[in-house]
Amino acid sequence: MIPPTFTEIIRRRRSVRRFRPDTVPRALLRELLELSMEAPSSWNFQSRSVVAVCDPAAREALSHAANGQRQPREAPVTLVFLAETGRWREDLTEVYESARARRAWDEEFLRATATHGIDFQRDLEERGLGREYAIKDATIAATHAMLAASAAGLATSAMNGWNETEVLKVIGADHRDDLAVALLLSVGFPAEEPSHPGRLPLDRLAFGDRYGETL
Ligand SMILES: Cc1cc2nc3c(=O)[nH]c(=O)nc-3n(C[C@H](O)[C@H](O)[C@H](O)COP(=O)(O)O)c2cc1C
């Protein structure tokens, strides 16, 4: 059975769009970001990063970039999750050495990651899929942050509606064509308690063995 404390964290989370002005303590924010980066990633290449925007003027600019949505303006921090589409081209020695030092990967797995992993990424890029794959890594990290925030009694608002160029400008990364914005996540203390909007019946969303078959 999934522990009730964990199910509670998942079930209690709601998208909140009104925030109190109280700041999120820096230590809690760092803990949140650390747990977010505990998320798995393809080949452990960690093709994602996050910028925590706390500065009021920058948050105002993020609201503008997010089609005027008030959450970045109101919430004390908005996390900008980024897809690092060029991570696989970087020197990944640290990734390999860390796995070796922790005895997480044996030599064969290390070699396979350093060769097949890189070939896999190159092939993705050639097929125009590099961005899509890095966005998966970033989105999973954002989900971790969302649930960690929920566990800490913080509210979140995920946002897809924004202008990417403008968001990149706010975080000082508009010169980087290897970065893509995956998701904005405003975080803070809630000033509203929205009701659960409900979900489609499980049999419409989850299947057993074959698409459409009831589990
Ligand atoms: C990827 C993603 C993008 C979203 N974008 C927005 C957004 O731009 N603005 C907004 O107000 N809510 C946004 N939402 C929140 C959804 O509307 C919300 O998750 C949904 O209505 C279900 O409500 P719940 O989160 O309370 O369960 C987004 C949610 C997700 C997961």
Cα distance between residue 18 and residue 40, in whole Å: 31
Among protein residues, the one whose CA lies closest to atom 25 of ligand 1: 15
Q: What is the pLDDT of residue 164?
A: 98
Among protein residues, the one whose CA lies closest to atom 27 of ligand 1: 14
One-letter identity of residue 171? I
Q: Which domains does the chain have, with CATH numbers?
A: 12-89+128-205 (3.40.109.10)
Among protein residues, the one whose CA lies closest to atom 30 of ligand 1: 158
pLDDT digits (tens, 9 = 90+) for 27-67: 999 999 999 999 999 999 999 999 999 999 999 999 999 99
Q: How far is the CA of 161 from the centre of ligand 1 (A)?
A: 10
pLDDT digits (tens, 9 = 90+) for 71-81: 999 999 999 99
Token pair in block for residue 102:
């922790």
Among protein residues, the one whose CA lies closest to atom 26 of ligand 1: 14
Would the CB of 17 count as within 6 Å of ligand 1?
A: yes
pLDDT digits (tens, 9 = 90+) for 176-210: 999 999 999 999 999 999 999 999 999 999 999 99
Would the CB of 167 count as within 6 Å of ligand 1?
A: no
Q: How far is the CA of 102 from the centre of ligand 1 (A)?
A: 38
* CA atoms in the 13 A half-sphere facing the CB of 142: 29
Residue ranges in the chain assigned as alpha helix (H): 4-12, 26-36, 56-65, 71-74, 93-101, 107-112, 118-126, 130-151, 164-170, 202-205
Q: How far is the CA of 156 from the centre of ligand 1 (A)?
A: 10
CB atoms within 10 A of CB 201: 8
Would the CB of 14 count as within 6 Å of ligand 1?
A: yes
Would the CB of 159 count as within 6 Å of ligand 1?
A: yes
pLDDT digits (tens, 9 = 90+) for 140-151: 999 999 999 999
Residue 119 pLDDT level (bands cut at 50, 70, 90): very high
